[in-house]
Amino acid sequence: METRRSSVNNSRNGKEKQSPKESIYLDVKAQLDEMNKKLESVMKNNNTQLKEMIERVVGKMKDRLVNRIELLEGKLFEKERENNELKTQITSLKENLQKQKDDNEALQIENKRIHKHHDMRINDSEQYN
């Protein structure tokens, strides 16, 4: 804090001008120094309030993380279930497609056989006519 005051006094007197970066740096440094002094006094006094406060904060963070994990696990479970259902549907559709292909192939073979038989009958009838 003293450094900031002296630099402010120097700049008021016109002896030294600070850039905006230096001013911000000194302001932040002063705030950090002040926080360090407060923390030192808390640590020296062996204050249990700080410990309790940290335990509360960590406990709240833990609870939030546990809730978040549970939500994510639930979503993951639902996605896995949905994926399994889709895999089953895909397997079923593939089986149906293969059955249809087999049926079509059988119908084409039967159609060719009938067509060939029909051609033979036409040929026979033309021969005997």
Give the tens place of pLDDT for each residue, 46-77: 667 777 777 888 899 999 999 999 999 999 99
Q: Is residue 20 assigned to a domain?
A: yes
Give the tens place of pLDDT for each residue, 87-109: 999 999 999 999 999 999 999 99
Q: Is residue 93 assigned to a domain?
A: no
Q: 110 or 19: whose pLDDT is higher?
A: 110
Q: 81 or 15: whose pLDDT is higher?
A: 81
For every residue of the chain, DSSP letters joined together read: -HHHHHHHHHHHHTS----HHHHHHHHHHHHHHHHHHHHHHHHHTT-HHHHHHHHHHHHHHHHHHHHHHHHHHHHHHHHHHHHHHHHHHHHHHHHHHHHHHHHHHHHHHHHHHHHHHHHHHHHHHHHH-
Cβ atoms of 26 and 33 closer than 8 Å: no
CA 98 – CA 93 distance, rounded (Å): 9
The confidence score (pLDDT) of residue 105 equals 96
Q: Is residue 67 assigned to a domain?
A: no
**Statement: residue 129 has pLDDT above 70:** no
The confidence score (pLDDT) of residue 4 equals 44
CA 72 – CA 112 distance, rounded (Å): 59
Q: Is residue 95 assigned to a domain?
A: no
**Statement: residue 2 has pLDDT above 70:** no
Q: Domain range holding 5?
A: 1-46
pTM of the model: 0.46
Length of the chain, please? 129
Q: Is residue 12 assigned to a domain?
A: yes
The confidence score (pLDDT) of residue 11 equals 45
Query: Could you give the number of structural domains in the chain?
Result: 1
Q: Is 30 exposed, middle or buried (0-12, 13-18, 19+ CB in 10 A)?
A: middle
Choose the most confident range, by mean pLDDT, from 14-18, 26-30, 85-89. Answer: 85-89
Q: Is residue 1 assigned to a domain?
A: yes
Q: Is residue 24 assigned to a domain?
A: yes
